[in-house]
Structure 1
Amino acid sequence: MTNPDPLIVTTVEEAVASEKPPSVGRLLTFIFPATLGLIALFQGIQQILIPSQVAQLDPAHKVGVLALMTTFVAITSMIGIPLGGALSDRTRSRFGRRTPWILGTGVVSSVLMIAMGYSGNLVLLAVLYTALWLTSNMYQGAVTALLPDRVPEARRGLAASIIGLATPIGLLVGVAVAGAAGPFWGYVIIALVVAVTALLLVFGIREESSVDLPPQPKRESGTWIASVGHFLHAFADHDFRLAFISRFFLSLSYATATGFLYFTLSDYIGTENLPGHSVTGAVTIVDVVLVIGWVAIATFGGWLSDKLQRRKLFVGIAAVGLAVTMFIPIISPTWTGILVFALFAGIFIGTYFAVDLALMSLVLPDKLSEGRDLGILNVATGLPTILSGAVAGLLITFAGGYAALYVFGAICALISGVVVFFIRKVR
């Protein structure tokens, strides 16, 4: 039966489609710094602040403690991203669907970071770290949902590449700030960046009220197993599953090889072989080189994928290229070898993430749950980042030391590159 009044909106999908979004340029102007702040949070804490705090509080067991802590926060990371997207999908407020969650989780994350700066024991640090990863990943879930909300499909390659540039730059900012400012002020400065960029985002691209949007269709109540099954319903889609698997293994490859960079440089390359005998300074230099490779290719890759309307080709070649790159530190376990590795890793990672976000947005099976489903796909990035600590700890301890990280990374990247070519509905 057709709607007798064309002005009446009857579904969430029609309502969202009827909103007039801000221009893509304006959207990216504000979403870029918000994403940058979030990446600075993740990388500054993971690469510098947490390892240095753990090493200070328990130097004898630093590898095991760090691996245990990152295993704990893996659970909240896995829950937080899709939860942020799903809750924002269902939110009805005069401020819109995404805004309340972006603002709320951004501010709470900033408060938790400052509290971590005051933490003087491992138990409290672990509790705050876990809580932070829940709120910051919920923040990511709500922010990422803006891409399918506001960007036309034909321009998603360019949009994804520009948003993707926030990752290497945010990494550089986070590591540089954490390294220069130290544990307390590092947390404080990054917390302020996250809070300010969240405020700029919600006020710069104001959402229309969602109060009058019809609620999402209700489903019949059932067991908690049925609830989980409903939440993960997107995995029934063939292309969604493969996209998740490809991103998961690529992210696990990269995160495992670089997540213990602080200890890799100090123990594998040797502190005496680093510039100025400074591990923190060496981490910053490696990240700068990686960012140079990433930035040099990212925007061009996204633009070209839009031009050719080819996503899988770029993503697959980048993943296989990263697999080959993983052998450089094994062949040349030197400071020079690490720098060459960082450059090529940046080029291939930049190519991958310049196009991958656009590909992810094109395999979402349900228009009404794009925030939730894109959040689930983002778990394939966030979860490996956290799990990499436990994986790396096991590889270093039981599987041949730091060189094993790169062998494992090569295998994972190759799996990612092969799997993506089996996606059907995206070229």
Structure 2
Amino acid sequence: MNRPAPIGRRWMTLFTLAWLVIWMAQLTPLQLLLPLQLDSQTSDDGDRWIHSVVVSGLILGIGALAGVVAGPLAGAASDRTDGSRFPSWLGGRRRVWAFGGSWGIALFLALTGLAHRPWLVAICWVGVSVAVAVASAAFTAMIPDQLAPDQRGAASAAIGSSQALGIVLGVGTVVVLGLDVLPGYLVLAALVVVVGTWASMGLPDRPAPRSELAIGITDRPRWASLRDRDFCWMLGGRLIANVGNALGTSLFLFFLLYGLHQDKDAAEDNLLILIVVYTIFVVGSSVIFGMISDRRGHRRTLTVVAAMVQACSGLVILAHPTYAVTMAGAALMGVGYGAFMTVGLAFATDLLPHVEDHGRDLGIVNVSAALGQLVGPMLGAGLVAAVGGFWLVFAMACVLSVVGGLMTLGARNTDSAPAVVEPTSSADAGSARK
């Protein structure tokens, strides 16, 4: 198989910007807008705050289930999209799905901001989750479509670092500008429309040879990748470790309000500080470990170590739950999660079992991460309700991070081999044999 040509700075810039707005659209509501919106609708001015936490977790969990279904289906549809039948501006397999997903995110974000009842919020958030899954599946499939193995760590680092940066930019925009819930949603929707359209149309997406399209393939079972042992161990570890991360981060606002008993304005300001600290370490860790994995390999080992570092953050907060210690835990969580997401995604692309199903299989990989981030709050809400506090949340975050790392060990080690330069002449061939 021919190695893809090296990608340039423009490709990486557009790819990073696409993921930046996707993460802003998904995680800013999760961290700030949805909790504020639902707290105002269900908590009775704080008298029923546990009820508010539970409602928020349930809505995020419902959205997660919708994303679980939508991501792989959208990826599979893009694998089977015959771009030769489209106008050239619509691209090959991925562009139409990236474009449609971006506009779907924007539409449902606006509708979520307008929803004035919890059940309406739930319906609209399902729409956001489905659209995020569609766009994510399309953009992620561009990695194996267009990148050589020794460039996939850099692209994975772009996804991981833009995730953390997206939280900071999204929450920071809402807090610094003093936006209410509805204007916050509308600003996010506008950003997704502009940047998502630009990235969708700007990234290359040439029609694939019909031999690479997953059309009429009958020589293996449907969803054959889920019968691949290594692929499944990787997926399981990615899911569980992401649940551990979400338990440690997604309830920060409620933890500041009702665990550390801060007032609303102080909690919002301190949440932004926590997110900035977390982001700095996620971005640094993503870039550094992405480069290491491209140059040295050892992706499975690095993924496992990263999960263990993430686990330590829960222990730190559990041991001494103060705001200062929570900041230290956020930094430690950022180091572990940044490395885990970056190297883990590059490891996942190495394990993809069937070239014709890259979009679908990477849709499953994305779902395993997104499901962890969205199921985590639902599980955390149940743990808070069970004990009337947050200590069990951080304890479980530690346990699940360790379990996710150990599960990743079940997949085979697939260090990417250095590029082999083919001889271009008989003389070169003779020299190579010597």
Structure 1 residue 144: Cα displacement: 0.8
Q: Distance in 2 between matches of 1:146 and 1:255?
A: 26
Q: Distance in 2 between matches of 1:217 and 1:114?
A: 36
Which residue does the alignment assign to 1:269?
260
Match of 2:104 among 108, 114, 131: 108
Maintained 8 Å contact 1:22/1:205: no
Structure 1 residue 394: Cα displacement: 1.1
Which residue does the alignment assign to 1:230?
222
User: What does the per-residue CA deviation read over 1:324-343, in whole Å, with 9 as the maximum and x for residues that have no partner?
Assistant: 22111111111101111111
Q: Distance in 1 between matches of 2:215 and 2:71?
A: 22
Amino acid of the structure 2 residue aligned with 1:290: Y
Which residue does the alignment assign to 1:157?
153
Is 1:35–2:19 an aligned residue pair? yes
- The 3 A distance-change label for structure 1 pair 24 and 63 is same
Maintained 8 Å contact 1:244/1:377: yes
TM-score normalized by the length of structure 1: 0.89
Maintained 8 Å contact 1:363/1:425: no
Which residue does the alignment assign to 2:31?
47
User: What does the per-residue CA deviation read over 1:121-171, in whole Å, with 9 as the maximum and x for residues that have no partner?
Assistant: 222221111111111111111111111111101221222112321111011
Which residue does the alignment assign to 2:68?
78
Matches for 1:130-279 after TM superposition, within 5 Å: 130-179=126-175, 180-209=178-207, 216-218=214-216, 230-231=222-223, 233-271=224-262, 278-279=266-267
User: What does the per-residue CA deviation read over 1:236-275, in whole Å, with 9 as the maximum and x for residues that have no partner?
Assistant: 1111011101111110000112111110111111205xxx
Q: Distance in 2 between matches of 1:209 and 1:152?
A: 18
Q: Distance in 2 between matches of 1:318 and 1:171?
A: 21
Maintained 8 Å contact 1:28/1:163: no
Which residue does the alignment assign to 2:53?
63
Amino acid of the structure 2 residue aligned with 1:67: G
User: What does the per-residue CA deviation read over 1:220-246, in whole Å, with 9 as the maximum and x for residues that have no partner?
Assistant: 7xxxxx9xx723x21211110111011
Which residue does the alignment assign to 1:87?
77
User: What does the per-residue CA deviation read over 1:76-117, in whole Å, with 9 as the maximum and x for residues that have no partner?
Assistant: 111122122111111123321101111111112101111222
Structure 1 residue 177: Cα displacement: 2.4
Match of 1:325 among 304, 313, 316: 313
Structure 2 unpaired stretches of 5+? 416-434
Amino acid of the structure 2 residue aligned with 1:208: R
How many residues were matched structurally? 401
Amino acid of the structure 2 residue aligned with 1:246: G
Is 1:23–2:7 an aligned residue pair? yes
Structure 1 residue 400: Cα displacement: 5.8
Report the 3-state secondary structure (helix = DSSP H, G, I; strand = E; otherwise coil) of the residue aligned with 1:401: coil
- The 3 A distance-change label for structure 1 pair 242 and 296 is same
- Root-mean-square deviation (CA, aligned residues, Å) is 2.2
Amino acid of the structure 1 residue aligned with 2:282: W
Q: Distance in 2 between matches of 1:72 and 1:171?
A: 21
Maintained 8 Å contact 1:81/1:378: yes
Maintained 8 Å contact 2:310/2:333: yes
Matches for 1:223-372 after TM superposition, within 5 Å: 230-231=222-223, 233-271=224-262, 278-372=266-360
Report the 3-state secondary structure (helix = DSSP H, G, I; strand = E; otherwise coil) of the residue aligned with 1:270: coil
Which deviates the most, 109-118 or 366-375? 109-118
- The 3 A distance-change label for structure 1 pair 71 and 296 is closer
